[in-house]
Amino acid sequence: MYKPIIELKDAAFSAQDKDVIREFSYQFEEGKTTALIGPSGGGKSTVLKLAAGLIVPTEGEVYYRGRGISTMTRAQNMKFRKESSFVFQDSALWANQTLRQILELPLKTHFPKMTATQRTERIVQILAETGYKKDLDIRPSQLSMGEQKLIAFARSMVCEPKLMFLDEWTESLDDGSARRLIDLVKKQREQARTIIFVSHNFRVIKELAQTICMIIDGRLSLIISAEEIATNDGLAKMIEKGIAQ
């Protein structure tokens, strides 16, 4: 029996006098993988950031395990951050930090008793899994966009989160690197991690998602199961066309 882990209740978000998200209510179930899909500019990434507590709704509330994220104490919020991770569409790596410093910071923050050797061992392990093989003592500007994505994904995995938010995390990657990260997410799904992701790649959506939420003009317009996509060619073609816009 799945339980809600993240709930958006009547959530709305406005920016520059424009309604981006309106009257959005949905419960993301613990242990399930959910894809947020829809046309470009429809609000998918905004919903993802609201669910992750990175932005605050202008109306409504977002709950983590039944507790409003905006009303959490510092200790409660730190626990939420330790249990969750976010991969940004543009990677969002600190320009003035080395890759090593970027990957060490979450470990120093959430595991203060971890030794420098233990941090290095964990970083080496996760980089081996993601396939990054270059120097760690360089800055993000020295990497390609694809390499930056690998580091951003490694950062999201370094604390072994229970809840993952992924925004177009396979964009700008070659097929081999994309395949490696998809397999890593699949492994997390098999371990009953909760994964919420945004993607325009229909192949990735079909392969990973258990539930699909279509967002159009800032509203939740359709909820579809993986079984419906697999057994209904007409629906699958409609979804593929919709996310290509």
**8 Å CB contact between 153 and 87:** yes
Domain boundaries, the chain: 4-90+163-243
Residues constituting the chain: 245
pTM: 0.94
**Does residue 237 have a pLDDT over 90?**
no
What beta strand segments (E) does 42-193 contain?
Answer: 59-64, 67-68, 84-87, 163-167
DSSP 169: T
**Which residues have CB under 8 Å from 35's CB, separation 6+?**
197, 198, 199, 205, 208, 209, 211, 212, 213
Q: What is the CATH number of domain 4-90+163-243?
A: 3.40.50.300
Q: List all residues 6 or more positions away from 82 whose beta carbon is below 8 Å from its beta carbon.
A: 110, 159, 161
Digit-coded pLDDT (tens) for 92-151: 999 999 999 999 999 999 999 999 999 999 999 999 999 998 899 999 999 999 999 999
The pLDDT, as a whole number, for residue 172 is 82
Rounded to 10 degrees, the C-alpha dihedral 203/209/215/216 comes to 30
Name the nearest CA neighbour of 132 among 162, 92, 108, 100: 100
| pLDDT tens by residue, 29-65 | 999 999 999 988 899 999 999 999 999 999 999 999 9
The pLDDT tens digits for 208-221 are 999 999 999 999 99
Task: State the alpha helices, DSSP H only, in 94-174.
Answer: 99-110, 116-130, 145-157
pLDDT of residue 243: 67
Residue 241 has pLDDT above 60, yes or no: yes
**Cβ atoms of residues 91 and 152 within 8 Å:** yes
Q: What single-letter DSSP state applies at residue 162?
A: S
Give the separation between CA 125 and CA 106, rounded to whole angstroms. Answer: 15
pLDDT score of 230: 84
Mean pLDDT, residues 197-210 taken together = 92
pLDDT of residue 242: 64
Confidence (pLDDT) at 108: 97
Q: What is the pLDDT of residues 163-182, one digit of tens each?
A: 999 999 998 888 998 999 99
